[in-house]
Amino acid sequence: MSGPIEQFEIKPLMPLTIADVNVSFTNSALMMVIATVIGSFFMLLAARKKAIVPGPLQSAAEMLYEFILGMIDANIGTDGRRFFPFIFTMFMFVALGNVLGLLPYSFTYTSHVAAVGTLALTTMVILVVVGLYKNGLKFLHIFCPSGTPALLMPVLVPIEMISFVSKPFSLTVRLVANMMVGHIMLKIIAGFVAMIGLAGIVPIGFDVMITIFEMGIAFLQAYIFTILCCIYLNDALHVH
C-alpha cells in the first residue's frame, strides 16, 4: 500500500531538459493546464450567449463575477477594479486546483510550495510595482508608519520589513498546509478501510464526510487567498 505522502510526488510525464534546466512536463503541469482549460471554457461558454435573462451557466458565471467584484469593492474600493482580471484569474486557478485535486487519480498542484509560492510572489511583485508607481517614494512609508518617534526607527523598520516579507510566506503556507493536511487525512483514513475488513464501512463513511468537508475547504481557502491578496493590494495602494 502506498504511503499517504506519495500522492504529492511530482512525476515527469514528458522528460525534457533545456540547457541543463529540467523543464519536464509533469503531472502538476498537466493539472494546471486542465484547470486553465476548464476555467477558460467555462467562462467563454457562459459568456457566449450574452442573454439578458441568463441561463443556468451564465447565471453561475455572473455570480462568480459579482462575487469577486464585491470582494474588490469592499476591500480595495472602486479604484481596485483595474485588478479585477488578475484577481479573478487567480481565484479561478486556485479554486479549480483545490477542487480538481479532490478527484481520484488527479494531482493537487496547490499542495506544492513551488506553485503557490509563485502565485504569492507574483502578487507581491505586482503590489510593489503598483505601489511605487502610484505613490512614488511615499510607498516606503509602509515600512515606517507616520508619527513614529525617531528613537524607535531602528527597531520598527526591521519589524515592518519582516512583516512585509512574511506576507507571501504566510499566504503560501496557509494554502499549502490546508491542502496537504486534507489530502493526507483522506488517504490515512482510506488506508484503514482495507485493514479492518467488514468494519471498514465506518472509515468509508468518515471519508465521505471528510470529502464533503474538503470541498468546502477548497473554496474557502481559494477565497481566503484572494481576499488576502486584495487586502495587501489595498495596503500598497492607499498608503497613509
User: Which parts of this chain interact with other proteins (CB under 8 A)?
Assistant: 70-71, 73-74, 155, 158-160, 162-163, 165-166, 169-170, 173-174, 220, 223-224, 227-228, 231
CB of 162 to other proteins, least distance (A): 4
| Distance in angstroms (rounded) separating the CA atoms of residues 157 and 145 | 9
CB of 149 to other proteins, least distance (A): 16
Identity of the residue, 17 or 78, whose beta carbon is nearer to other proteins in the bound complex: 78
Handedness of CA 176, 177, 181, 182 (dihedral sign): negative
Identity of the residue, 44 or 155, whose beta carbon is nearer to other proteins in the bound complex: 155
Identity of the residue, 35 or 68, whose beta carbon is nearer to other proteins in the bound complex: 68
What count of residues does the chain have? 240
Find out whether 92 and 198 touch, Cβ atoms under 8 Å: no
Instruction: Tell me which residue of 180, 230, 231, 206 sits closest to 5, measured CA to CA.
Output: 180
Q: Which residues lie across from 22 on neighbouring strands?
A: 17
Identity of the residue, 193 or 227, whose beta carbon is nearer to other proteins in the bound complex: 227
CB of 231 to other proteins, least distance (A): 8
CB of 83 to other proteins, least distance (A): 17
Buried-exposed string 176-210: b where 16+ CB fall within 10 A, e elsewhere: bebbbebbbbbbebbeebeeeeeeeeebeebbeeb
CB of 163 to other proteins, least distance (A): 4
Identity of the residue, 108 or 221, whose beta carbon is nearer to other proteins in the bound complex: 221
Handedness of CA 194, 200, 203, 209 (dihedral sign): positive
| Distance in angstroms (rounded) separating the CA atoms of residues 136 and 83 | 19
Identity of the residue, 35 or 71, whose beta carbon is nearer to other proteins in the bound complex: 71
Q: Which residues lie across from 17 on neighbouring strands?
A: 22
CB of 36 to other proteins, least distance (A): 25
Identity of the residue, 65 or 223, whose beta carbon is nearer to other proteins in the bound complex: 223
Find out whether 115 and 96 touch, Cβ atoms under 8 Å: no
CB of 228 to other proteins, least distance (A): 6
| Cα-only R_g, the chain | 21
4 three-class SS:
coil
